[in-house]
Amino acid sequence: MSIAVHQLNKRFGQFTALNNVSLDFPDGELTALLGPSGCGKTTLLRIIAGLEFADSGQVLLDGQDASQQHVRDRQVGFVFQHYALFKHMTIFENIAFGLRVKPKHIRPSEAQIKEKVTSLLELVQLDWLADRYPPQLSGGQRQRIALARALAVEPRVLLLDEPFGALDAKVRKELRRWLRRLHDELHVTSIFVTHDQEEALEVADQIVLMNHGTVEQVGAPADIYQHPATPFVYGFLGNVNLFHGRVHEGVLDAGGVTFAAPAHSDIRDATGTGYVRPHEFDIDRYSPGAEGLLVQLRRAHSIGPLAQLELERDDNGDLLEAIIPSERYQQLKLKVGEVLVLRPRRLHVFVDTH
């Protein structure tokens, strides 16, 4: 089922949660609503579900205006961060709950309920826990049961609010891979809220990056990471080094160090900032005549396949972060305090338009 929202606005007192938000969520795809706390992503999800109502704007489900529909009429499955399972019911009864409370004329028979719940328990690979109670399960198991309960009523769309937020890092990673595989099997149009950029980049077909109630960028994970549309997007999707300066006819002058900025060849003497991710630097020992930015190695941390270097610019004392393969780090035999030459392989410049 396709989902669209048109010109949604929502305020809570003086706080603007959503400011004229319009989006399309493709049929059968998994979309991540990504952004910092308070950016409006959970409010948007709850409005799509019917748990909140917008001050203005439309929610369209399969092209039909559902803005005023009650949550029970939208056929939406909702998975909360903290599971919301009934502690006094067995796992089987938790999953069966949505089927048992259906109106009598559409309520499945006991045999049908048993068949449905059993198949869902097998789907989430927890059929051996049917007679247990929620407190007897781990956090990861409870979240999979919450997802099975949401799927029991055969929702047209699945909405997940920070579904792995209460879990530790290792379980989160396992569950998000599992969710991706499950989605590929079911193809239910799904939207999940997260503030974890790694989670969104790994799991989603489409990412909606939000900030202060507005949409900063929409696109496939690779497109957003490789081609960020705004400084906020660049900074939010992982660590980044900043080079502040002036842009003039395709060149960024950042405190006496110049970088090519060919995309801005028509700009004359404007404030600009260059963005370089830590892994986008080449590093060599200093030798006379070497071209690049001179830095001193202040700290090095090498565990596993990558070495993380903390570097200080010789000219202004700014700290930079670089990441290189551990093999390269071992090959260079770098020592704290020595002078290195830094060259960005890729630099993205944003010009201040204000």
Q: Where are the domains of the chain?
A: 3-236, 241-351
* Domain 3-236 sits in CATH 3.40.50.300: yes
Contacts of residue 9, defined as CB under 8 A and 6 or more positions apart, other chains included, come to 16, 18, 19, 20, 21, 54, 55, 56, 57
Q: Decide if 338 contacts 300 (C-beta within 8 A).
A: no
Contacts of residue 280, defined as CB under 8 A and 6 or more positions apart, other chains included, come to 344, 345, 346, 347
List the beta strands (DSSP E) in the chain.
Answer: 3-12, 15-25, 30-34, 56-61, 64-65, 76-79, 157-161, 189-194, 206-211, 214-219, 241-248, 251-254, 257-260, 270-276, 281-285, 293-303, 306-313, 319-325, 339-344, 348-351
State the Cα–Cα distance between residues 251 and 249, nearest whole angstrom: 6
Q: Which one, of 44, 151, 11, 145, lies nearest residue 87 by Cα?
A: 145
Q: Decide if 244 contacts 273 (C-beta within 8 A).
A: yes
Determine the Cα angle at 176 with ends 60 and 37, to 5°.
65
pLDDT by 10s per residue, the chain, length 354: 889 999 999 999 999 999 999 999 999 999 999 999 999 999 999 999 999 999 999 999 988 899 888 887 888 888 776 667 888 899 999 899 888 888 888 888 889 999 989 988 888 888 888 899 988 888 888 888 888 888 887 788 889 888 777 667 777 787 788 888 888 888 889 999 998 898 899 999 999 999 999 999 999 999 999 999 999 999 898 889 999 999 998 889 887 788 888 889 888 889 999 999 999 999 999 888 888 889 999 999 988 899 999 999 987 888 999 999 999 999 988 899 999 999 999 889 999 876
Q: What is the CA radius of gyration of the chain?
A: 25
Helices 139-152, 91-100: axis angle to 10 degrees equals 20
| Distances from the Cα of 156 to the Cα of 20, 27, 72, 304, 340, angstroms | 25, 10, 12, 44, 57
Instruction: Count CB-CB contacts under 10 A for residue 335.
Output: 8
- Mind giving me the DSSP string for 45-99? HHHHHTSS--SEEEEEETTEE-TT--GGGTTEEEE-TT----TTS-HHHHHHHHH
Fold of the domain built from segment(s) 241-351:
OB fold (Dihydrolipoamide Acetyltransferase, E2P) (2.40.50)
Q: Decide if 191 contacts 160 (C-beta within 8 A).
A: yes
The per-residue pLDDT for range 54-70, each reduced to its tens digit, is 999 999 998 889 988 88
**pTM assigned to the model:** 0.84
